[in-house]
């Protein structure tokens, strides 16, 4: 069984912590970190050295998620990015796809939908 190394960037602490608890129960997913937006994200990601999948909030309050995607894809090209949002606009979806995002998941998705998305994206789907 291949272990998926996953990083979460979500500024809502309650949501971030809940996702982290749920993911820690998965035998095939290793949660390398769950970060808010206040940290110097790229430096932390570089220290972690390795994430197969980044689960990223589209609407970070003080950071531009699109710029984070571009920086991650530039610096860590093998890392796949999944964007989370409540209701992304078509314009947002197009911009993020052009920046190299591998998938989208709605924040009100069911747990099995989130897990399935992470697993599929990690395999290149």
* pLDDT for res 77: 85
Q: What is the mean pLDDT of residues 66-87?
A: 90
* pLDDT for res 39: 59
Q: Is the pLDDT of residue 14 over 80?
A: yes
Residue 110 — very low, low, confident or very high, per pLDDT cuts 50/70/90?
very high
* pLDDT for res 49: 67
Q: Is the pLDDT of residue 85 over 70?
A: yes
Q: pLDDT higher for 21 or 46?
A: 21
Q: 4-122, superfamily in CATH? A: Response regulator (3.40.50.2300)
Please report, rounded to a whole number, the percentage of residues in the chain having pLDDT higher than 90: 67
DSSP-derived secondary structure for the chain? -PPEEEEEE-S-HHHHHHHHHHHHT-TTEEEEEEE-SSS-HHHHHHHH---SEEEEETT-SSS-HHHHHHHHHHH-TT-EEEEEESS--HHHHHHHHHHT--EEEETT--HHHHHHHHHHHHTT-
Q: Is the pLDDT of residue 37 over 80?
A: no
Q: What is the mean pLDDT of residues 59-76?
A: 85
């Amino acid at each position: 069984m291949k272990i998926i190394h996953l990083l979460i960037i979500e500024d809502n602490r309650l949501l971030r912590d809940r996702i982290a608890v749920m993911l820690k129960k998965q035998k095939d997913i290793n949660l390398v970190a769950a970060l808010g937006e206040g940290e110097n994200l790229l430096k932390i990601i570089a220290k972690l050295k390795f994430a197969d999948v980044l689960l990223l909030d589209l609407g970070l309050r003080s950071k531009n998620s699109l710029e984070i995607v571009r920086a991650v894809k530039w610096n860590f090209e093998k890392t796949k990015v999944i964007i989370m949002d409540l209701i992304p606009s078509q314009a947002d979806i197009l911009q993020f796809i052009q920046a190299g995002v591998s998938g989208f998941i709605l924040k009100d998705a069911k747990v099995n939908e989130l897990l399935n998305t992470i697993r599929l994206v990690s395999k290149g789907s």
